[in-house]
Structures are given as structure tokens and as C-alpha cells.
């Protein structure tokens, strides 16, 4: 289906049928209904992504017989398969105004009506008079007015009815051909200057949340340029996901999940894809991720409850999940020591409620220079099943201000700060039984080689964090040179939707050439 969709990605369909007439379409739909075969109506494929496992059914794609346009006064009557660009040319030649906003929308007129496509302040509902449809079972044909379609934002009643658009009637206004062409050219120039039109995509990937702009949310969440495989959040317009070359549908969907989770985490807004996603995943995977040891809840500054995270982990197929809220020393979002017991009770309830999933209690302790090197006291270790820990801003006694300035480009005294940071981490590792060192290398300068050697000695896992970007690819390579060092990929989820999202970390690990056997929470699928 990559040959029939604008993303140029996706698996195969069982069968592609291209009826050329209404009679053929009617026969096809009746046969598919009588045989109980699933089908999907595809236009130009500009707003569809087929998963890599393909579509188990029939793709019905109206053929060239549905690509007609005829003028009837101020109306254009169009077959469902005609491209929007062709309709725009016909409108301009006929001196009919009103279609200018839609002149650059890719795809077919049938698909544009189905989705109530829009751009630059206009929508199809503004110019649609009626549609001629055939029922999903092919047993009746009728003409439906625009009002009857209940057209809303990227939605029409056709989504529920399953009726198939065969013919579209547009009601336009008389205008000057020159002015119409001029306006279309202006909008084309605007589109080309602001959108990544040179890359395969499906246009705006996310619907516009009420009160927001999806592209701005994505950019402000730090996702501009974010890449998974060949899929990328466009650096030109963050509302677009593009195929930079060789992207799989899985790359695109993994990137979607990461972006959705980060926007939810930062703004509390859930993005919904505008792109229609069909088909199934590839069932046979070489590897599978089995546990996530780094997730946060409302006990610190996560957005979900313990159960929210557990349910999200179960949905991702995880066998093991840990709740690891921030240590109590953090000034802004550390867990209250009085909540240790409450958190333990919540975890034990989950083990009873979801017996097939192991739920464990941890804490992401903060490293400091004094005492035992952590903000968790030795006598508190027994409160938890294991301890993970790493460096964060927001505590006394860990050079927070100097590291914050360094991370913002003020690199005065970098070498001395690097030595001090490294000594702090080494002290925490040697004096405590840390299971995992979280996001080493993040928020300040560190000697990754030295830290890796101590992690090897203390059998502490080095985390490849999917939220912070550390270990980086280069840091993974440096750490991997130390014999005996083992790694853990963690989501560092602060919202339930991010639990079990490992793709950014796995991508860096593979890019670094890390032997998969050194990652403890990945295994070859049986």
C-alpha cells in the first residue's frame, strides 16, 4: 500500500479492486457484503496510513471512471475520484470562486468530503451542496444534502453510516478567473513556504485540539525534528510527520506515540491523529521489551495514578513495571516521606488486582555530595524493592546552579564541574546498592567512561532514557567499551501514555552498535 498512499509507507492489502462505474462499485460492495469480507474505500491515499502488517481485506479504489467534472451553472458536479487539484483548475477556468482555500489540499474530492477537509479558514462544508452515495452494502443509492451529513471538524455522518460517496456537487459563486488564479497561487506559495511539501507525508498529522494549534504544541513540547527511523517531525512545520526516506509505518506510529505522550505530559492535552490508520501490526517481532523500571505518578510530579501506569504497562504487554517517584529531597517534586506507606499500599493492591503483572516499588533517589550520596537514608532502603537514582536540579548539595548554567551554555569551570559531578555519582554508586543509574550524562558534564567502570564494578545498570536523550549514542559507545557494563532502556514516563515507550532509546542503542544481549529488559521473542 506504500504505492497507493502519500506517506509512501505501509504493508500490503490482500486485494485491490478498482471499479470503473457505479454499477461495478455496486456489484463489488454487494459481493463483499455477501461474503462477509472487510473492505476499505480508498481515494488518493493522502490521509491514510496502512500499518506494516498490512490490511486483511479488500481495498476498493474508485477508478478513472469516477474522475469526471462537469459544470452546471455555478455548480461543479464531480466524480468521487477526481483530484482536488483538477477541481481547482476547473473552477478557475470556469470563473467560479469559493474553492480557492481547497486548491492545495491533496487527495480526491470524495475523501475531502468524507473528512470535511479544510485549510486557510475554509472547509468543504462551506461549498458542498450535496453528495450521491451508495450504502455500504451496495443495496441503495441516494442523494444526501450537506446539512444531512452533520459536517464538523474533520468529521461527517459518513463515518458512522459507512455510505460511500460516488458523486459530489459543489455550489460556488461567479468570479474573475484571473483573481481566482491569483488567490490560488498566493495560497500555494504560502503552503510551499511553510509546509514540507518535498517529503512524503499525510499533511497535518494531528487534529487541532480545541483552543490550541497542534503544531505549536508539538514544537513547544520539544518534538520538532524528533526522529524514529525514517520518520521525522518536520523541522519546517511541527504539525507534519514526514518520511525522510525508508520510513516504515511502525516508525511513523512510534513517533506519533512519543509526540502524543510528550504533549500530554507538558500541556495536559491529548492529541488525536487526523490521519486514518488502518490494518494490523506485523505479528512476528524479533525482539520484545519486557519491563519498565522508571515511571512516575502523582506522588511526585507524574500525571497518572499507580493504577494508570500499571494498566498502561499491561496494555503494552509488559510483564513487570516499577513505580519510581522522585526522591524526597527534591525541592519541587520530591515524594513526601509520609507517603512511602501509602505508595506501598497502592503497589500491593495492584499486585492483587493484576496478578499476571509484577508491580514493584522503587524510588528515583537524587544524588548529592554529602552523607551517603543520596537523598534516601540508609534506614529507608527497606521501604522499597530496589533503589534507582541519578542527578537532578532542584536540590541543595549537588551544584544545581552551576550545572543549570552549564546546561544553558555557560561553560565556565567546566572541567572542575565535571570532576565534581563524577565524584558525586561515583560516591552514590559505591556507598549504596543502586539497581539503576538514571539518565547518566544528563543536566551537566560527566565522565561517562569513569562512571561506566564503577557501574561495572557495582553491577549497576546504566539507563538509556527515552525522555531525556541520555545516554546519547556517543555516550552509549563510550560506556560499552567497559567490559561487564549492562544497560536498561526506560521510558521515564511522567504520563501513563508514555509507559512502555522504548523506541527512542532502542534507536540510539542500535545506532551505537550496542549488543542487544547487554540490554536487560529486551529479549528475543520466542
Residues with a catalytic annotation lie at: 154, 204, 274
8 Å CB contact between 506 and 482: no
Backbone angles phi, psi at 143, to 5 degrees: -105, 130
Residue 257 parent element (H or E):
helix 249-267
Give the distance from CA 476 to its chain's centroid: 25
Backbone angles phi, psi at 169, to 5 degrees: -115, 120
**Residue 71 CB partners (closer than 8 Å, separation 6+):** 77, 90, 94, 96
**Residue 129 CB partners (closer than 8 Å, separation 6+):** 75, 145, 146, 169, 170, 171
Give the dihedral sign, CA 33/35/38/41: negative
Q: Quote the CA–CA distance of 241 and 224 in Å, as a whole number.
A: 10
DSSP, res 321: E
* Residue positions counted in the chain: 526
Backbone angles phi, psi at 66, to 5 degrees: -105, 20
| Residue 175, all three cell numbers | 468570479
Backbone angles phi, psi at 69, to 5 degrees: -140, 130
Q: Any idea which residue has 461549498 for its cell? A: 127
Amino acid at each position: 500500500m506504500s504505492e497507493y498512499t502519500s506517506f509512501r509507507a505501509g504493508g500490503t492489502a490482500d486485494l485491490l479492486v478498482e471499479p470503473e462505474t457505479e454499477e461495478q462499485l455496486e456489484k463489488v460492495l454487494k459481493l463483499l457484503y455477501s461474503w462477509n469480507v472487510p473492505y476499505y474505500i480508498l481515494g488518493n491515499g493522502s490521509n491514510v496510513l496502512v500499518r506494516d502488517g498490512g490490511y486483511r481485506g479488500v481495498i476498493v479504489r474508485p477508478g478513472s471512471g469516477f474522475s469526471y467534472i462537469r459544470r452546471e451553472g455555478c455548480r461543479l458536479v464531480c466524480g468521487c475520484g477526481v483530484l482536488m487539484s483538477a477541481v481547482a483548475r476547473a473552477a478557475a477556468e470556469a470563473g467560479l470562486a469559493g474553492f480557492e482555500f481547497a486548491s492545495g489540499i491533496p487527495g480526491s474530492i470524495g475523501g475531502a468530503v468524507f473528512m470535511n477537509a479544510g485549510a486557510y479558514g475554509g472547509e468543504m462544508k462551506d461549498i458542498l451542496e450535496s453528495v450521491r452515495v451508495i450504502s455500504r452494502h451496495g443495496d441503495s443509492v441516494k442523494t444526501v444534502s450537506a446539512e444531512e451529513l452533520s459536517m464538523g471538524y474533520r468529521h461527517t455522518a459518513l463515518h458512522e453510516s459507512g455510505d460511500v460517496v460516488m458523486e459530489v456537487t459543489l455550489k460556488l459563486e461567479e468570479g474573475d478567473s484571473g483573481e481566482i488564479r491569483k488567490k490560488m497561487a498566493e495560497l500555494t506559495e504560502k503552503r510551499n513556504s511553510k509546509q514540507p511539501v518535498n517529503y512524503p507525508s499525510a499533511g497535518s498529522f494531528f487534529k487541532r485540539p480545541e483552543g490550541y494549534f497542534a503544531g505549536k504544541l508539538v514544537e513547544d513540547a520539544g518534538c520538532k525534528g524528533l526522529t524514529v527511523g525514517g520518520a521525522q517531525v518536520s523541522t519546517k512545520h511541527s504539525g507534519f510527520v514526514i518520511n525522510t526516506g525508508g520510513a516504515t509505518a511502525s516508525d511513523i506510529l512510534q513517533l506519533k506515540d512519543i509526540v502524543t505522550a510528550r504533549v500530554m505530559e507538558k500541556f495536559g492535552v491529548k492529541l488525536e491523529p487526523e490521519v486514518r490508520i488502518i490494518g494490523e501490526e506485523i505479528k512476528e517481532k524479533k525482539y520484545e521489551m519486557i519491563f519498565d523500571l522508571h515511571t512516575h505518578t502523582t506522588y511526585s510530579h507524574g500525571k497518572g495514578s499507580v493504577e494508570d501506569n500499571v494498566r498502561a504497562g499491561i496494555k503494552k504487554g509488559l510483564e513487570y513495571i516499577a513505580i519510581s517517584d522522585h526522591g524526597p529531597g527534591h525541592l519541587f517534586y520530591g515524594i513526601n516521606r509520609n507517603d512511602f506507606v501509602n505508595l506501598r499500599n497502592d503497589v500491593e493492591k495492584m499486585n492483587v488486582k493484576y496478578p499476571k503483572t509484577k508491580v514493584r516499588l522503587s524510588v528515583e533517589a537524587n544524588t548529592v555530595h554529602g552523607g551517603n550520596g543520596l537523598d534516601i537514608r540508609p534506614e529507608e532502603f527497606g521501604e522499597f524493592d530496589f533503589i534507582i537514582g541519578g542527578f537532578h536540579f532542584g536540590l541543595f548539595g549537588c551544584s544545581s546552579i552551576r550545572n543549570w548554567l552549564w546546561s544553558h551554555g555557560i561553560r565556565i569551570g567546566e572541567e572542575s564541574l565535571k570532576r565534581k559531578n563524577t565524584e558525586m555519582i561515583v560516591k552514590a554508586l559505591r556507598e549504596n546498592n543502586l539497581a539503576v543509574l538514571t539518565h547518566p550524562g544528563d543536566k551537566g558534564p560527566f565522565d561517562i567512561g569513569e562512571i561506566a567502570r564503577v557501574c561495572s564494578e557495582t553491577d549497576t545498570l546504566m539507563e538509556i532514557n527515552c525522555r531525556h536523550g541520555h545516554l546519547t549514542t556517543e555516550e552509549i559507545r563510550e560506556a560499552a567499551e567497559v567490559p561487564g557494563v549492562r544497560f536498561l532502556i526506560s521510558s521515564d514516563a511522567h504520563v501513563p501514555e508514555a509507559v512502555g515507550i522504548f523506541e527512542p532509546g532502542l534507536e540510539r542503542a542500535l545506532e551505537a552498535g550496542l549488543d542487544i544481549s547487554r540490554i536487560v529488559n529486551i529479549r528475543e521473542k520466542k
